[in-house]
Amino acid sequence: MSEPLLSINGLSTGYAGVPVVRDIGLEVHAGEVVALLGPNGAGKTTTLLAASGLLPALAGSVTVLGSPVDAKAPHRNARRGLAHVAEDRSLFSDLTVRENLRLGLSGNRAQRATAQTAALGHFPELERLMDRQAGLLSGGEQQMLAMARALASSPRILLVDEMSLGLAPIIVERMLPIVRDIADDLGTAVLVVEQHIHMALGIADRAYLLSHGEVVLEGDAAELAQRRDLLEASYLG
């Protein structure tokens, strides 16, 4: 298999020097969707923050597109092709949908127009909302905008944290297949955190299960989906 686009090795990281995840090993290849599962507080968000350089490693390493993630200037990782849709969606609520989308774009005018059209192609719902302030959108629409903004940067690696947070399952059912399409069509390496385990396993190639800051299970998504007992045991602690 080719080199992974995202590779995490022996990673420990946390807050104020105290590790909350330990010795994490994880990789995501081009065109692959990998689900990061686990109960609340397991360390999923912390792992994504370290993967995008927003949280420095206490031990171990994060390699993005062949070189170490930049934890000193995380925006450089974005420029190299890493997009992170955070739990809070990080939208500018006073700006319009159009303006929020524009902030995700790089390249010349023609390239930006093409990228924006492609991103909106996944979310036609947003077209009639282009001039509305992001803060006035529904939760589902905000999540679509956050995803569209990430896609508009044509990422090679896409990290998505709990897009279902506060949303109806039907929105998640709408969003997860898009994540799959992005990996299939653009060859993006996707790492997705999702509470709806079975929905996530339905579109993922592989999955890692975190518990108390450690990877306790990893494998083929279809096989893990059959091991309900193991998954439930981890969730119940």
Ligand X SMILES: Nc1ncnc2c1ncn2[C@@H]1O[C@H](COP(=O)(O)OP(=O)(O)O)[C@@H](O)[C@H]1O
Q: Which residues would be at the binding site for ligand X (CB under 6 A)? A: 15, 20, 38, 40-46
Q: How many other β-carbons are positioned within 10 Å of the β-carbon of residue 126? A: 21
By beta-carbon proximity to ligand X, the closer residue of 40 and 67 is 40
By beta-carbon proximity to ligand X, the closer residue of 42 and 97 is 42
* Residue 164 contacts which entry, ligand X, Mg ion, none (Cβ below 5-8 A, type-dependent): none
* Residue 40 contacts which entry, Mg ion, ligand X, none (Cβ below 5-8 A, type-dependent): ligand X
By beta-carbon proximity to Mg ion, the closer residue of 97 and 146 is 146
82-85 and 157-160 strand pairing: parallel
Contact 23, 44 (CB under 8 A): no
Minimum separation from the CB atom of position 164 to ligand X (A): 13
Minimum separation from the CB atom of position 21 to ligand X (A): 7
* Residue 148 contacts which entry, Mg ion, ligand X, none (Cβ below 5-8 A, type-dependent): none
Minimum separation from the CB atom of position 18 to ligand X (A): 8
- Site residues, Mg ion (CB under 5 A): 44-45
DSSP letter string over 64-133?
ETTEE--SS-THHHHHHTEEEE-TTTT--TTSBHHHHHHHT--S-HHHHHHHHHHHHHH-GGGGGGTTSB
